Structure 1
């Protein structure tokens, strides 16, 4: 009897990919978020094909308005804003995806170790995460980048450090709860290894909160990356990024608002899309909220 209980699948609420997609599309807010995310992702992936000009190519038509040669206008150096916005999407989404993926892998591993093994590991990992979490996110990222210098690699390192505690705390809470369940105790009693218990029982129960945290963290990472780019500590010129475009365009607002409006709208729409998608994912994956 004990062996059967240990070998049985854990009582975790699961949804297939098709069911989850249908749940998102049935929700108008979720569908809107998914469409925004899909459009921005496709724009970033196919930026070389969609951009009408080289994003770094300058011209004499400085601060030109939308229409004519440049569909969305030109910046202070005569560079096409549409092309720079498309390549800026590639920069922001790539950096954010790398950051959140790395932070998620490290944070999930630390959360599993702290929540399942507890004891000394929990006593070391949890206070360390609390210390990092106690700092304002942007301030901590600023400190790391300022200490190591501007650049894409240092930006990614700073943001990974910032986002690790969020994943670790969520997974630790789930691991603490699941490790006390009868099916986990039965698996331990029949001699299953800790690695197998974690991968078979503990980790699957963490998939839903991890998915939601991953989506919302992407939105936050885009904001922080743009903020650091605005301050000149993010991706360095001539590579376009939305934050640096905002920064360079602010000095010419009285002459033309388009160099600031275009990247600002891109940031707003992208962050909105990820937040809408994250909220819908939370509702779809949480049994307590399903059906409301």
Structure 2
């Protein structure tokens, strides 16, 4: 009597990518530090979105109360031109967060696409894309951004272009590594054997396993983009006046620090708190989406 053995089904993808989203809220609730990051990001985002409603004055309106201390008609004081620092900080949040979100979103889409092409198809694709990404990645981030902006001139459009070029290699390298690893898994080989198309394999198996590192890279890149945008604004190569930005506020206030610290302190604190919030949020995503780090929740 011959006993028939049922065929062993092809192994499916690991549960990391499918379970990560369900654990995100749980980790945020249990992780107090991550919750602080979420609160900071939410508050700063709301401040940027509702800046026209929250700002007490026009951020470009000047007055005779130059370098006025906090209190009275100016809650956070006034700058060297008598402009309200609170209003300028709120509109500066809108500028920094908008530029950073556009930059990181564009860089993420381009970098993920290039990483998938290089890591999944390998061969000529990998031989062309990876060296270019390595060359861009070898330059210091701020130096590369400075070079692009200096070559094309200051302005918001050139600033966005420079920062997109800066952040694409990070996303491409992360997704390429994941694609190379997942491409060797048995369930991907089984998918090839049953005739699934490359596009279906990429979107069903490869891309979901890249969600965790992409999410972490996205949040940390937002923090870094805010820093670089502020740095270029400080050097006069970012968003141009009269549009307020935290970097330009720091630059204009440095000459008056002996008379008043507030024109430099207010934007500096905004930058520090916002960057801290996005970094803490990135740690939370990493803890929620990486099963090896879930034990750190509840810090």
Q: TM-score range by the shorter chain?
A: over 0.9
CA separation of 1:69/1:283 partners in 2, compared to 1, >3 Å: closer, same or farther? same
* Partner residue, 2:13: 10
Give the SS at the match of 1:288.
helix
1:176 aligns with 2:180: yes
* Partner residue, 1:141: 145
Q: Provide Cα deviations, 1:28-82, integer angstroms capped at 9, x if missing partner.
A: 1100000000000000000000000000000010100000010000000000000
Give the SS at the match of 1:56.
coil
Task: Return the alpha-carbon distance in structure 2 between the equivalents of residues 46 and 291 of structure 1.
Answer: 37
User: Which of 1 and 2 has greater Rg?
Assistant: 2
Q: Provide Cα deviations, 1:221-274, integer angstroms capped at 9, x if missing partner.
A: 000000000000000000000000000000000111100000000000000000
* Partner residue, 2:266: 262
* Partner residue, 2:57: 53
Q: Provide Cα deviations, 1:110-132, integer angstroms capped at 9, x if missing partner.
A: 00000000001001101100000
Q: Provide Cα deviations, 1:158-193, integer angstroms capped at 9, x if missing partner.
A: 000000000000000000000010110011111111
1:124 aligns with 2:98: no
Q: Are 1:219 and 1:270, in contact at CA under 8 Å, matched by a contact in 2?
A: yes
255, 260, 274: which one aligns with 1:251: 255
CA separation of 1:71/1:2 partners in 2, compared to 1, >3 Å: closer, same or farther? farther
* Partner residue, 2:169: 165
Q: Are 1:230 and 1:244, in contact at CA under 8 Å, matched by a contact in 2?
A: yes
Give the SS at the match of 1:289.
helix
Unaligned runs of 5+ in 1: none
- Taking the TM superposition and a 5 Å limit, the aligned residue runs for 1:109-120 are 109-120=113-124
Give the SS at the match of 2:291.
coil
Q: Are 1:30 and 1:280, in contact at CA under 8 Å, matched by a contact in 2?
A: yes
* Partner residue, 2:3: none
Q: Are 2:27 and 2:287, in contact at CA under 8 Å, matched by a contact in 1?
A: no
Task: Return the alpha-carbon distance in structure 2 between the equivalents of residues 207 and 2 of structure 1.
Answer: 32
**RMSD over aligned Cα, in angstroms?**
1.4
CA separation of 1:11/1:83 partners in 2, compared to 1, >3 Å: closer, same or farther? same
TM-score (norm 2): 0.94
CA separation of 1:283/1:19 partners in 2, compared to 1, >3 Å: closer, same or farther? closer
Aligned length: 290
Q: CA shift at 1:16, angstroms?
A: 6.0
TM-score (norm 1): 0.97
Unaligned runs of 5+ in 2: 1-5
* Partner residue, 1:272: 276
